[in-house]
Chain A
Amino acid sequence: MSLLRNLGAWFNERLDWNSLMAPLRKKTVPRHRLSYWYFLGGITLFLFMIQVVTGILLLLYYRPGANEAFESVQYIMTQVQFGWLLRSIHSWSANLMIFTAMAHMFSVLLLKAYRKPRELTWISGVILLFLVLGFGFSGYLLPWNTLAYFATKVGTEITGQVPIIGKPLMVFLRGGEDVTGATLSRFFGFHVAVLPGLATVLVLVHLLLVQRFGISVPPKVEQEWIVNPNARREMKFFPNFALRELMAWYVALGVLGALAALFPWNLGVKADPFAPAPAGIKPEWYFLFMFQTLKLIPSKIGPIDGEVLGVLAFGLAGLIWLLLPLLESRQPSRPKQWISAFALVALVYMTGMSIYGHLAK
């Protein structure tokens, strides 16, 4: 033990570790009936770290390229020791992470944690969500099976619908006019280099901002605590909250393991660009609400093409979502009610459309 202490002291003399860690030791987390929502951000971070580790391990055997991708994933699933486990964990964790990221976002929205001075935290978070969706979209293609091939085809096709920049953007994404091996190479580059680089930077920024501003308290609870200061409760981050977070992480790990072992991720059939698209092709669940909406929009609304209008509408919605804190009132203690209502409507809409899209033929 004293060896460790001496080692710590040696590093501390040079890095001044203690003064760096001091604010963290003092960090507290508000404790109230809605505190459980605070775990979601950490769980998302944990799942992201799982993705990085399993992703790097998969990289050791995966081969990008239309001729080899499918076979290399098949090799991982059948020949590599515990390859099935790592691949299934990677796929399940991806879906779980997108779910927790969205839950985290909605909880922040409804608990109004994005108010001044935390606007930048929100903005960095929304961009991170878009990056995570990009991870999902690019990663989905990598096994090069039929479902992935056609889902990518449809998805990039919809991107091409955006006026003016749509077509060049689609060609940029596809690495050409059609979805080919070039698309696979490109998506691979995005998935393992570009997106991880951007995401890492943004995660660090996001965490630093959270650290800078502390944990926000929902308006109603804030009011209660102003009226009755004795009711205010807080918990030290280290070790109390951190230990609880660790429990949540272990639960997430257990859930992942169970999912990977009981419901291994399907491999499917190798993509054949010349085969017709399978009937009822659908994107993954996190894009379903947009996909279903586009299917329901009539083909023409006045002089404008329905699908273009839909894509533009979602683009606008995304922009509003990103800049939501700027629409909030100047006084953080009197937040605007319509934003909460808007958030609830959006949540109900997204959930409802996703279910509809899942059940529809």
Chain B
Amino acid sequence: MSMGSSTVIEPKPATTPVHRRKFIEILLGSGFLATGLAFLYPIVRYLVPPRTLDLGGDSVVAAKTGELKPNSGKIFKFGSRPGLLVRTAAGDYRAMSATCTHLSCTVQYRDDLREVWCACHNGKYNLDGRNISGPPPRPLEAFDVQVRGDEIFVRRRREA
């Protein structure tokens, strides 16, 4: 105990029995270990890169070369929306949004008409995505297509 004018709280020499001291030490030790593990385990798992790559929201592999015959189309997933990949009769690729601008049905490629067609109300778009007949009020958003190796990449056009 200090003799001065103030009382200072500080560690006292050990007066507790050994087994109680040991219990506290074990409790504390195991607690620190457990919380340390609970803290480190998620971090270590986090640092390991996941298997599925993050390409970003703008680029998607729509198909492989040779998958589509000339004059045919394929619906692929582009982020959270469907996209349409068309291989024209001439052999080149076009890609556009597959959500009809009328009432949001999913459009399809008609090889007999060589046009993009919506089954819901007979809306038609040309291969550039422009609405050419029927109720659709706006064109389909067109995407960029790039063939790299044997993969066909589809990318959004606009940069925010």
Is A in direct contact with B (CB under 8 Å) within the complex?
A: yes
CB distance from B93 to the nearest CB of A (A): 22
Q: Encode A239-271 as 1/0 by CB contact (under 8 A) with B.
A: 110000000001001000000000000000010
Contact status A71-B56, CB under 8 Å? yes
Q: Tell me which residues across on chain A come within 8 A of B112, comparing CB atoms.
A: none
Near B by CB (< 8 A), chain A positions 45-89 give 57, 60-61, 63, 66-68, 70-72, 75, 79-83, 85-86
Q: A270–B160 Cα gap in the complex (Å)?
A: 12
Nearest opposing residue in chain B for A236, CB measure: B10
Q: Tell me which residues across on chain A come within 8 A of B54, comparing CB atoms.
A: 61, 63, 71-72, 75, 79
- Of B6, B47, B58, which is within 8 A of A233 by CB? B6
Contact status B58-A79, CB under 8 Å? no
Contact status A234-B8, CB under 8 Å? yes
Q: A79–B79 Cα gap in the complex (Å)?
A: 15
Contact status B9-A86, CB under 8 Å? no
Q: With A80-B46, A81-B48, A236-B11 given, is the CB distance from A68 to B6 under 8 Å? A: no
Nearest opposing residue in chain B for A72, CB measure: B54
B7, B35, B160, most chain A CB atoms within 10 A: B160
Near A by CB (< 8 A), chain B positions 72-130 give 79
Q: Is B45 an interface residue (CB 8 A)?
A: yes
Contact status A67-B6, CB under 8 Å? no
Contact status A80-B50, CB under 8 Å? yes
Q: Tell me which residues across on chain A come within 8 A of B50, comparing CB atoms.
A: 79-81
Q: A82–B9 Cα gap in the complex (Å)?
A: 42
Q: Encode B144-160 as 1/0 by CB contact (under 8 A) with A.
A: 00000000000010011
Q: With A80-B50, A273-B160 given, is the CB distance from A67 to B57 under 8 Å? A: yes
Contact status B79-A233, CB under 8 Å? no
Q: Is B66 an interface residue (CB 8 A)?
A: no
Nearest opposing residue in chain B for A229, CB measure: B5
Nearest opposing residue in chain A for B58, CB measure: A67
Count of residues in A whose CB is under 8 Å from the partner chain: 35
Q: With A79-B52, A81-B45 given, is the CB distance from A181 to B35 under 8 Å? A: no
Q: Is B43 an interface residue (CB 8 A)?
A: yes
Q: Is B42 an interface residue (CB 8 A)?
A: yes
Q: Is A300 an interface residue (CB 8 A)?
A: no
Q: A81–B48 Cα gap in the complex (Å)?
A: 8
Q: A83–B45 Cα gap in the complex (Å)?
A: 9
Q: With A63-B56, A71-B54, A72-B54 given, is the CB distance from A86 to B7 under 8 Å? A: no
- Of A70, A80, A230, A253, which is within 8 A of B57 by CB? A70
CB distance from B48 to the nearest CB of A (A): 7
Q: Tell me which residues across on chain B come within 8 A of A233, comparing CB atoms.
A: 6-9
Q: Tell me which residues across on chain B come within 8 A of A239, comparing CB atoms.
A: 11
Q: A234–B79 Cα gap in the complex (Å)?
A: 61
Nearest opposing residue in chain A for B57, CB measure: A71
Q: With A80-B50, A81-B45, A180-B160 given, is the CB distance from A232 to B7 under 8 Å? A: yes
B residues at A contact (CB < 8 Å): 5-11, 35, 42-43, 45-50, 52, 54, 56-58, 79, 156, 159-160
For the complex with contacts A233-B8, A234-B8, A253-B35, 19 further pairs of A-B residues with Cβ separation under 8 Å are A57-B46, A60-B47, A68-B57, A71-B54, A71-B56, A72-B54, A75-B54, A79-B52, A80-B46, A81-B42, A81-B46, A81-B50, A82-B43, A85-B42, A181-B159, A232-B6, A234-B6, A235-B9, A236-B11
**Contact sample, A vs B, 7 pairs, CB 8 Å cutoff:** A63-B54, A79-B50, A86-B42, A229-B6, A236-B10, A239-B11, A273-B160
3 shortest A-B CB distances, which residue pairs? A71-B57, A66-B160, A229-B5
